[in-house]
Each structure stands twice: as C-alpha cells, then as structure tokens.
Amino acid sequence: MSREIKSAPQLQVQNVAPNDFKDRLIKLIPAEIIAAYVSISGLIIAFAKQKPEAEKSHLLWIIILILMVLTPVYLIKVLGISKKGQILFSTIGFLIWAFATASPYTNDVLGFSFELITSVILILYTLLIPLFYKG
C-alpha cells in the first residue's frame, strides 16, 4: 500500500476507489519520524538525568527542529509522496505529536499544563484532518 493519499479524480482513470477516512488517517501520521522523536527524547531524558532541565530542553528543541526539516524530505525521498497538502499536514502532525509526547516546553497556558493542551490538540487534529483533507 502506497503512503500517498489517492483522491477520487486521480483514481477514476485507474478505476480504483479513493482512500477512505481510515486510510487517510494512517497516511497523514508520519509514524517513522514520530517513533524517531519518541526514541531520541526517551534517550535524552534517561541518559541526561544529571543535566539541568534547560540543557535537556535545548537538546529536545534541536531534535524537533531537525526532525521537522527531515519529515518532508523523508516523505518525498523515501515514501515517494508528492502531494504538498499531505506533506504539510504530516509535518504539522509531527510537531503536534512531538509536543504532546515529550515537550521541551513546560509552562502552563491559560492555567492548564501545556502537555494537556497539546494532547487535546493531538486528538482533535488526528481525528479531524482526515475528514477535511481528501488528497
């Protein structure tokens, strides 16, 4: 199964059904990049116990920046995805996943923890984007 989302006009020529909600949901999550971030952030947290929180936070910001730039490159070069919308939504999805799983930002926002807010955003984004983005 290709990771690029197939739209109805694109598939009419090939006589194949367009991707349904479940397929779009799976294809919009850059799982490999998220797995890399979760693994790297876990290593940073585990092996930098003696380091000040500021140093760990700076390193996590650097990793997020590197993986954010790597996400579109990976989607295009490795997975062969050419749709700009899918690349954009997957990159935004990575950022939301990163902040919801191991955020370097720890301040409260509007009286709520940043982790809580990003977790709610993650759930809503993951469920709503496939409804609106059809490819």
- Mean pLDDT of the region 18-42: 91
Give the pLDDT score at 15: 64
40-46 own/partner pairs: CB under 8 Å, 24+ apart: 41/98, 41/101, 41/102, 42/102, 45/102
Q: What is the pLDDT of residues 47-90, one digit of tens each?
A: 877 777 778 888 999 999 999 999 999 999 999 999 999 999 99
3-class DSSP state of 18? coil
DSSP-assigned beta bridge partners for residue 109: 112
pTM of the model: 0.83
